[in-house]
C-alpha cells in the first residue's frame, strides 16, 4: 500500500538552517545573551500568543496589516510582532513585583506577515535590552547602553564599528526654533541624505514649503562635523534659546561624557545629528550602530530613550532606554557578506570515537571518559567498514577522531587523528583530555 | 487628556514568570541543552508556523481540535504542536544535506489549545533529542539514550530516579501469542494498574472479552519482577515462540547490556513490562523516567524507538530513537512540589556597585573592571539616599554589593558587603575579583 506523500517544505519568508549554520547562529545568540547578562540584565520570556486587544492597544498603520491574528474559541489572538509591546504589558502587569530601575533582556521570535522579499523574514529573532524606570530614570543609563553594544560587537568579532548617537530633543528643539511644523517629514527627508545627496534633500525640503532661511540653517545643522567635542561646541555656538534644544544638548553632552567612563573608546562612538530613528516613541537619546567595513548592511543595533513605555496599560509613567538586535536578518546579512563562512562543522562534538572492528564496549567507555571531563564527544555506533566511518566523521566536520582497535584496547594507548590536518598522535586518554582542553 | 487604559493580562494557560523564576527556568533549560550537546546532538530550529498540510499530514483525533490553525492571505497555517512532526519534515526535506545517523536536539515552544486546566499549558517548551538513521539504526543507540537522561537529571540535582525501559515488540509479540486483537485497549488498561489496582484491571480486561486463560497469562506477565537479569530470565522462561516477542526480548537484553557500558548505574534503570507509551509510532524500546521521591509527578522524560519517522513526507525509511522533556510543565510541577524554591534572586549580577555620594565615575570604573573579568556586575546609577540604594540591592537579591565613597576612591580599598550574611570586607578590586571567582 503506497502512502500519500506530502512534499516537505516550509513557508517562504521563514528561516531554517542546516546544523552547521545553526551552530554559527547559536554562537552569535549566545554571545549576545552572555553580554546582556554580564551587564546585569535579567531574562524574561513572554508568551508568543497574546490577546489582540493587548498587542494592538496602540493600533494603526502597517502593524495591523502585518500581524498574524486569528480566533480560537471566543478569543481574538495575535502573535507578538515585537518584544517592546509585550515588555510594556509585562511591566504594567507585574509592576508591584518588579524592582526599578528594571533591567531586562528578552531574546525570542517575533512575527510579521510582511510582503515576501529577499532578506526579509516573517518570523525572526529579536534580542532586546531595556532599562525601565518608575517615574524617572537617570540620563546616565543612556551612556551604559553603548558600552553593552561595544562589548557585544567586540565579542562577535568586530573591531571597526561606530555607534552613532543623537538626541531627538535637539532635532525637535532645533525645528521648533525654525517654526517648522511637519518635523516628521523633514526628518524623513534628512534621513535619506546618504542615499539621495544634498541637492535632492534641499529640493525635497523646499517642496515641503521650508523657507530659504530655514533651509539654509537646516543644511548648516546637518553639515556640522568633527570630533564629538567639536560637534557639541558647534551646537552650543548656534545659540538656540529653545528649551527643548538646550535640554537635548545638555543630555547629549552628559551621555558622551559618561560613555567614556563606561570605557567605550572614542573611536567607536560618534554624534550623528542626522539620525532620528523612525519609531515615534523615542523622545531623547537615539542609537544606530554601523559596521565600518560593511556600511551597506545598515544599522546592526538600534534603539533609544522613550518617555513612557506602557501608557496603554497603566497611568504610571515609565521612562526607559533600550536597544534591539534583529538577529535573523543580521545572520542572513552576515552570510551574504561572507562575514560568517561555513566551516563545515555540523556537530557540537569535539571528538568522534570510532571502533575499527565493531567492538564497542571499550569504544563507548572512551567517549564516556571524555564526556565526564566536559569534552563533547560522540561514538559511532553503526557497524561497517572503517572507510565508511571516517567518511561520516569527515562529513560531520568533527576536528578529532579517536580510532580504536585491538592494539589500542590492549595497550590503552589511543590514536588521536586531527581530521583537518591529518596529523595522528598516540596518546593515553588522560593526555587526550589535556590536549583537547 | 486621559488615555484609554487596557488592563494588562495574558491568556489563561500561558506561563509567564517573574525574573527570579525565569532565572531558575533558564538554568534548567541550559543544563538540558548542555547535556544534549555533550553527547554530540546538533541544534536545529524549525519555524513555529508551518503549512497546515505539512503539520496535519498525519491527521486525526485530538491533534486537529487542539491545533492553532488560521489563514493569512491564501495560506492555511498552523502553529507546531510538537517537535517531532517538524523533525520528520526537516529530515525529509534536507535529507541530501544531512549526515546519518543524524543526531539533533531542538528546544522550543509548541502550542496546543487544550482545555484550560491547572498545570496544563497551551504554550510550552519541549526539549527533544532524536537519533535518526537512513534505512537502519543500530539498537545500541537505544542504550545511549538512558545515559543522556542519567547525565541530565543528575546535573538537574537528582540522585534518586529510575529510567523505566520496555520494548513494544515484547508486548505486541506476547499479545499475538495469546491471539489478542485489541492490543491498544489491553495496553490502555494495563497502563492504569498503579492507579486502579489489579482487581479492577482484571475486571476491565474481562469486560473486553479476554478469555480466562489469556487473562491469567497477562497477570502473570505483568507481575514479573526482580532485577533486570531476573526479568530477562523470566521472559525467556515463558518460552514464547512468537518471532516479534523473541526479537523484542533480544533487543531489550542488548539495550540493558549496553546501558551499563554507557555507565548508567544499575540502580538508575529498570525493565518495566507495564510501560507502553501511548503514542502509536513507537515500535521498539520505550522509556519513562520517574523521580523516586516524587512519583506523583509522573514521567519527567519519555520517548522510544520508531521504525519510520517521516513516512508522510518521503518513501525513504527513517528509523530513529528519541526522548522529550516537557520543560514548562516540569518547571510548574517542580515549583508546586517545592523542588525549586525561589531564592529571591532576580538578577544575573553577582555584584551591584553603589556610590554612597552620587559620584559615579569611579563607581562605574569598578563595575567595568568586574565585567571585563567576566563577573556579571551592575552599577546603581540613580541618585538618592544610601538606604534606598541598599533597599534596591536587597530586593534584587544580589549576593554582593560594593559601597564606594570618598575614602574608597582615595585609598582604592573597597568595601564588599555580602547581603545574605551581612559580612563586610575591605579589599582591593583585584582581591574582590579573586574572591568572587
User: pLDDT tens across B401-433, in order?
Assistant: 999 999 999 999 999 999 999 999 999 999 999
User: pLDDT tens across A64-90, in order?
Assistant: 789 999 999 899 999 999 999 999 999
Locate A108 and state its grid cell: 525570542
What pLDDT score does A252 carry?
98
Q: Give the residue carrying C-alpha cell 567605550.
A: A264
Tell me which architecture the domain covering A11-160+292-344 has in CATH. Answer: 2-Layer Sandwich (3.30)
What string of DSSP letters covers A302-325?
A: EEEEES-TTTTT-SS---EEEEEE
Q: Nearest Cβ partner of B39 from A17, A54, A378? A: A378
Strand partners, A305: A321
Sheet holding B400-404, edge to edge: B377-379, B351-355, B400-404, B414-418, B424-427
Q: Give the residue carrying C-alpha cell 504554550.
A: B123
Contact by Cβ (8 Å): A285, A305? yes
**DSSP code, position B14:** B
Parallel, antiparallel, or unpaired: how do β-strands B424-427 and B414-418 relate? antiparallel
Q: How far is B318 from chain A (nearest CA, A)?
A: 14
What pLDDT score does A244 carry?
97
DSSP H or E segment with residue B22? helix B19-38
Instruction: Give start-end residues of each CATH 3.30.930.10 domain in chain A.
Output: 11-160+292-344, 164-286
Asked if B382 lies within 8 A of A138 by C-beta distance, the reply is yes
Measured distance CA(B257)–CA(B264) in Å, rounded: 11
CA distance to B386, B395, B415, per residue, from B425 (Å): 18, 21, 6
Measured distance CA(A422)–CA(A399) in Å, rounded: 10
Q: Is A13 left (phi over 0), alpha (psi -120 to 50) or beta?
A: left
Asked if A103 lies within 8 A of B347 by C-beta distance, the reply is yes
What string of DSSP letters covers A148-190?
A: HHHHHHHHTT-SSEEEEEEEHHHHHHHHHHTT-S-HHHHHHHH
Q: Which of B10, B257, B343 to mutate to test the interface with A (most CBs of A within 10 A)?
A: B10
Asked if A10 lies within 8 A of B133 by C-beta distance, the reply is no
Q: Which of B60, B115, B146, B348 to mutate to test the interface with A (most CBs of A within 10 A)?
A: B348
List CB contacts of A112: < 8 A, sequence separation 6 or more: A66, A67, A81, A122, A124
Measured distance CA(B217)–CA(B230) in Å, rounded: 18
Asked if B133 lies within 8 A of A382 by C-beta distance, the reply is yes
**Among A305-319, B1-15, B16-30, where is mean pLDDT lowest?**
B1-15
Angle (deg, nearest 10), helices A243-261 and B360-372 = 50
Question: How many residues in chain B?
Answer: 437
Measured distance CA(A32)–CA(A327) in Å, rounded: 9
Q: Provide the 3-class DSSP secondary structure of residue B179.
A: coil
Fold for A164-286, please state it: BirA Bifunctional Protein; domain 2 (3.30.930)
Mean pLDDT of chain B: 94
Q: Provide the 3-class DSSP secondary structure of residue A381.
A: coil
Mean pLDDT to the nearest integer, B55-65: 79
Asked if B99 lies within 8 A of A396 by C-beta distance, the reply is yes
Cα dihedral B88, B90, B95, B100, rounded to 10, equals -70
Chain B residues with CB under 8 Å of A109 CB are 48
> How remote is the C-alpha of A150 from its chain's centroid?
12
Q: Nearest Cβ partner of B123 from A22, A49, A311? A: A49
Q: How far is A344 from chain B (nearest CA, A)?
A: 11
What string of DSSP letters covers B230-287?
A: HHHHHHHHT----HHHHHHHHHHHHHHHHHHHTT--GGGEEE-TT---S-TTEEEEEE
CA distance to A226, A235, A248, B180, B320, per residue, from A230 (Å): 5, 9, 16, 90, 66
Mean pLDDT to the nearest integer, B12-26: 97
Provide the pLDDT confidence category of residue B231 given band limits of 50, 70 and 90: very high
Q: How far is B189 from chain A (nearest CA, A)?
A: 31
What pLDDT score does A3 carry?
65
Q: How far is B178 from chain A (nearest CA, A)?
A: 28
Angle subtended at Cα B287 by Cα B285 and Cα B292, rounded to the nearest 5 degrees:
150
Fold for B161-291, please state it: BirA Bifunctional Protein; domain 2 (3.30.930)
Measured distance CA(B425)–CA(B402) in Å, rounded: 10
Q: Give the residue carrying C-alpha cell 549554520.
A: A21
Report CA torsion sign: A93, A97, A103, A104: negative
Q: Nearest Cβ partner of B16 from A40, A42, A47? A: A47
Contact by Cβ (8 Å): B416, B427? yes
Query: What pLDDT tens digit does each residue of chain A (437 aa) get?
Result: 456 899 999 999 999 999 999 999 999 999 999 999 999 999 999 999 999 999 999 876 667 789 999 999 899 999 999 999 999 999 999 999 999 999 999 999 999 998 888 889 999 999 999 999 999 999 999 999 999 999 999 999 999 999 999 999 999 999 999 999 888 889 888 888 888 988 999 999 999 999 999 999 999 999 999 999 999 999 999 999 999 999 999 999 999 999 999 999 999 999 999 998 866 789 999 999 999 999 999 999 999 999 999 999 999 999 999 999 999 999 999 999 999 988 889 999 999 999 999 999 999 999 999 999 999 999 999 999 999 999 999 999 999 999 999 999 999 999 999 999 999 999 999 999 999 98
Chain A residues with CB under 8 Å of B5 CB are 312-315
List CB contacts of A236: < 8 A, sequence separation 6 or more: A249
Asked if B364 lies within 8 A of A258 by C-beta distance, the reply is yes
Report CA torsion sign: A65, A70, A76, A78: negative
Chain A residues with CB under 8 Å of B17 CB are 44-45
Radius of gyration over every alpha carbon of chain A, rounded to an integer in angstroms: 28
Asked if A10 lies within 8 A of B47 by C-beta distance, the reply is yes
Phi, psi torsion values for B416, nearest 5 degrees: -100, 125
Chain B residues with CB under 8 Å of A99 CB are 346, 392, 395-396
ipTM of this complex:
0.96
Q: Is B244 left (phi over 0), alpha (psi -120 to 50) or beta?
A: alpha
Q: Give the residue carrying C-alpha cell 509522573.
A: B298
Q: Give the residue carrying C-alpha cell 560637534.
A: A231
Q: Give the residue carrying C-alpha cell 517537535.
A: B83
Q: How far is B359 from chain A (nearest CA, A)?
A: 12
Instruction: Give start-end residues of each CATH 3.30.930.10 domain in chain B.
Output: 12-143+303-346, 161-291
Q: Which of A1, A39, A40 to mutate to test the interface with B (most CBs of B within 10 A)?
A: A40
Q: How far is B194 from chain A (nearest CA, A)?
A: 36
User: pLDDT tens across B73-119, in order?
Assistant: 899 999 999 999 999 999 999 999 999 999 999 999 999 998 888 88
Peptide bond into A101 cis (omega under 30): yes
Q: How far is B289 from chain A (nearest CA, A)?
A: 21
Q: Provide the 3-class DSSP secondary structure of residue A231.
A: helix
User: pLDDT tens across B335-362, in order?
Assistant: 999 999 888 899 999 999 999 999 999 9
Q: Nearest Cβ partner of B53 from A6, A109, A348? A: A6
Residue among B230, B160, B221 at smallest CA distance from B193: B221
Asked if B17 lies within 8 A of A44 by C-beta distance, the reply is yes
**Domain spanning A351-436: which superfamily?**
Anticodon-binding domain (3.40.50.800)
Chain A residues with CB under 8 Å of B97 CB are 18
What pLDDT score does A1 carry?
45
Q: Provide the 3-class DSSP secondary structure of residue B413.
A: coil
Instruction: Give start-end residues of each CATH 3.40.50.800 domain in chain A.
Output: 351-436
Measured distance CA(B409)–CA(B364) in Å, rounded: 12
Question: What is the CATH number that goes with domain B12-143+303-346?
Answer: 3.30.930.10
Asked if B262 lies within 8 A of A368 by C-beta distance, the reply is yes
- Closest chain B residue to the Cα of A100, Cα to Cα: B392
What pLDDT score does B262 carry?
97
Burial of residue A108 (number of CB atoms within 10 Å: 0-12, 13-18, 19+)? middle
User: pLDDT tens across B67-83, in order?
Assistant: 999 999 899 999 999 99
What pLDDT score does A155 carry?
97
Asked if B47 lies within 8 A of A11 by C-beta distance, the reply is yes
Measured distance CA(B220)–CA(A412) in Å, rounded: 47
Report CA torsion sign: B426, B427, B429, B432: negative
- Closest chain B residue to the Cα of A88, Cα to Cα: B8
Asked if B19 lies within 8 A of A44 by C-beta distance, the reply is yes
Amino acid at each position: 500500500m503506497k502512502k500519500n506523500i506530502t512534499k516537505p517544505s516550509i513557508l517562504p519568508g521563514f528561516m531554517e538552517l542546516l546544523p552547521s549554520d545553526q551552530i554559527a547562529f547559536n554562537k552569535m545568540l549566545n554571545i549576545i545573551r552572555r553580554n546582556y547578562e554580564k551587564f546585569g540584565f535579567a531574562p524574561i520570556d513572554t508568551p508568543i500568543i497574546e490577546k489582540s486587544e493587548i498587542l494592538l492597544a496602540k493600533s494603526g498603520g502597517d502593524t495591523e496589516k502585518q500581524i498574524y491574528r486569528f480566533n480560537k474559541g471566543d478569543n481574538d489572538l495575535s502573535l507578538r510582532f515585537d518584544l517592546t509591546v509585550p515588555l510594556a504589558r509585562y511591566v504594567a502587569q507585574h509592576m508591584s513585583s518588579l524592582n526599578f530601575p528594571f533591567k531586562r533582556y528578552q531574546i525570542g521570535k517575533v512575527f510579521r506577515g510582511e510582503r515576501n522579499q529577499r532578506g526579509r523574514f516573517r518570523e525572526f529573532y529579536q534580542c532586546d535590552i531595556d532599562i525601565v524606570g518608575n517615574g524617572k530614570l537617570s540620563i546616565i543609563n543612556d551612556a551604559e547602553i553603548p558600552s553593552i553594544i561595544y562589548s557585544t560587537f567586540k565579542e562577535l568579532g568586530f573591531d571597526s564599528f561606530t555607534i552613532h548617537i543623537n538626541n531627538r530633543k535637539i532635532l525637535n528643539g532645533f525645528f521648533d526654533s525654525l517654526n517648522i511644523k511637519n518635523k516628521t517629514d523633514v526628518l524623513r527627508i534628512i534621513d535619506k541624505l546618504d542615499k539621495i545627496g544634498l541637492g535632492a534633500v534641499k529640493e525635497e525640503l523646499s517642496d515641503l514649503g521650508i523657507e530659504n532661511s530655514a533651509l539654509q540653517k537646516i543644511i548648516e545643522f546637518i553639515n556640522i562635523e568633527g570630533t564629538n567635542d567639536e560637534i557639541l561646541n558647534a551646537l552650543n555656538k548656534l545659540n538656540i534659546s529653545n528649551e527643548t534644544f538646550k535640554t537635548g544638548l545638555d543630555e547629549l553632552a552628559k551621555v558622551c561624557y559618561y560613555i567614556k567612563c563606561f570605557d567605550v573608546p572614542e573611536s567607536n562612538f560618534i554624534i550623528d545629528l542626522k539620525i532620528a530613528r523612525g519609531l515615534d516613541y523615542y523622545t531623547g537619546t537615539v542609537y544606530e550602530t554601523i559596521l565600518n567595513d560593511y556600511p551597506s548592511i545598515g544599522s546592526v543595533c538600534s534603539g533609544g530613550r522613550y518617555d513612557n513605555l506602557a501608557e496603554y496599560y497603566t497611568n504610571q509613567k515609565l521612562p526607559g532606554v533600550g536597544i534591539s538586535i534583529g538577529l535573523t536578518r543580521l545572520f542572513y546579512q552576515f552570510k551574504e557578506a561572507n562575514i560568517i563562512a561555513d566551516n563545515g562543522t555540523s556537530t557540537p562534538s569535539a571528538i568522534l570515537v570510532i571502533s575499527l572492528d565493531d567492538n564497542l564496549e571499550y569504544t563507548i567507555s572512551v567517549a564516556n571518559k571524555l564526556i565526564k571531563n566536559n569534552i563533547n564527544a560522540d561514538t559511532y555506533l553503526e557497524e561497517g567498514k572503517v572507510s565508511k566511518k571516517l567518511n561520516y566523521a569527515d562529513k560531520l566536520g568533527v576536528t578529532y577522531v579517536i580510532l580504536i582497535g585491538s592494539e589500542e584496547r590492549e595497550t590503552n594507548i589511543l590514536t588521536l587523528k586531527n581530521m583537518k590536518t591529518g596529523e595522528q598522535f598516540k596518546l593515553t586518554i588522560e593526555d587526550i583530555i589535556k590536549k583537547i582542553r
